[in-house]
Amino acid sequence: MAKSALLLCPEAPFPAIGGGALRTASLATYLGAHYDLDLIIFREPGMPDPRLAIPAGLARDVQVIDLPAHRKDALNKAGRNLHRLLRNIPPHEDRFREHETTIEAWLGDRRYSFVCLEHFWTSTYAGFFRGRTGRLACDLHNIESHFYASRADTDSAPLSWIWRRFAAANRVREQQRLSDFDTLLMTSPEDAARIDLPNTMVYPNAIPLVPVPEVPKQMAIGFSGNLEFPPNITAVRWFAREVWPELARRFPSLEWRVIGKGAEFVREAVAGLPRVRLTGPVDDAVRELAAVQVAVVPIQSGSGTRLKILEAWAARTAVVSTELGAEGLKAGSAVRLARDPVEFIDVIGRLLTDPVERARLEAAGRCLYEQRFTWPAAWRSLESNGI
């Protein structure tokens, strides 16, 4: 009898654009090649049918669960988070729970060799699926308690107090739930150490193996990411305020490209600044990054590992990052680190004027990507753990 697997996804894995989708798509592609794969995908209102983007032959069956209307503007987000705060419920968890009746009607009497719940947000379904599988896993894109604690460290009151409350609420839930899984997929050894349980394994973030795009380098630097994601918003605002004005003064022909969907969330932060271009959504972030001289990763908070660095390495583009931005990648000489605005300005300026050093950094990043951070390289960790 063929082995079967189920993947529960709070967001569509295909098209594989953006950090969360890329990680889930990597896992789904592997499982589809080794198991009869079923998918459960939650869909936000107004989004396309996720079944249309799934590669042909990948999944045996797909269940789409439509979520209720949910506005993303700052006022509505604040209202939802206040309501969660009063109930001591972390963000996202309440968005995806309590669909057991719908799922059970679709599943019937199916059992699986392997079931994986994507993101900690869906860990509420662990008990529901425990009786349907011999191996239950949770794929932790982030450590939610660490994610909110890091946001508390970078924001001022009252936000810092709110994030600490959410960090504490997640920490309690992590302690209650994560030991019940047979396997926890972690993005890095650092995240595995934060959980400190014997059921962890490192499944690194990765992107498909792609050739270096054949595009000419332009006098530009780039930041790539989902601009609806709070750590990316904070990073762009910080760079716009602390770094870009001086860089723009020193290099009058330099352009800063902010690449990714959600431009409306950072438009005000860059308004009035010279030579800043918001690209909006792009089909191929690697190609966009291949056209810039330096990819900047001024991340101040967050968890997991940054796929924006992997995309820059795939593009053969030099990377300048905070230490947190490069955490978990063991990047060594493939990334230049900067701790403050002065170092960002200095390191970026030197790379713009030193083509030899820039080429060395480009080659080191591309080599590390090919060795450790392509989908086939990441899949080796699944194989070695019997998945």
Contact predicate 55/25, CB 8 Å: no
The two three-digit tokens of residue 320, written as one number: 């300048």
- Per-residue model confidence (pLDDT) at position 228: 92
Contacts 24+ apart (CB under 8 A), 137-140: 137/181, 137/182, 137/183, 137/184, 137/185, 137/387, 138/178, 138/181, 138/183, 138/184, 138/185, 139/23, 139/24, 139/27, 139/185, 139/203, 140/184, 140/185, 140/186, 140/187, 140/191, 140/195
Residue 9's DSSP bridge partners are: 41
- Compute φ and ψ for 336, nearest 5 degrees: -95, 130
Which residue, chain included where needed, has tokens 């860089």?
Answer: 247
> How many Å apart are CA 138 and CA 90, to the nearest integer?
18
Is the sign of the CA dihedral 33, 39, 45, 51 positive or negative? positive
β pairing state of 255-259 and 294-297: unpaired
> How many Å apart are CA 339 and CA 351, to the nearest integer?
16
- Per-residue model confidence (pLDDT) at position 73: 73
Q: How many other C-beta atoms are found inside a 10 Å radius of the C-beta of residue 280?
A: 13
Residue 6's DSSP bridge partners are: 38, 115
The two three-digit tokens of residue 96, written as one number: 């995806």
Q: Looking at this protein, which amino acid is placed at residue 2?
A: A
Domains, the chain, ranges and CATH? 4-203 (3.40.50.2000), 220-372 (3.40.50.2000)
Is the sign of the CA dihedral 292, 263, 227, 66 positive or negative? negative
> How many Å apart are CA 42 and CA 12, to the nearest integer?
7
- Per-residue model confidence (pLDDT) at position 1: 54
- Per-residue model confidence (pLDDT) at position 364: 98
Q: What is the mean pLDDT of each run of 10 residues along the chain (387 residues)?
A: 91 92 97 98 94 97 92 75 85 91 96 98 96 97 95 90 94 96 97 95 97 97 95 97 98 98 95 97 96 98 94 98 96 96 98 98 98 97 97
CA max distance for the chain: 67
Nearest CA to 228 out of 97, 70, 341, 25 is that of: 70
Contact predicate 195/174, CB 8 Å: yes
Nearest CA to 250 out of 111, 378, 344, 117 is that of: 344
Decide: helix, strand or coil at residue 141. coil
Nearest CA to 81 out of 94, 91, 96 is that of: 91
Decide: helix, strand or coil at residue 116. strand
- Per-residue model confidence (pLDDT) at position 359: 97
- Per-residue model confidence (pLDDT) at position 169: 94
Q: Distances from the Cα of 31 to the Cαs of 27, 99, 106, 324, 355, in angstroms?
A: 6, 24, 20, 31, 42
Query: pTM for the whole thing?
Result: 0.93
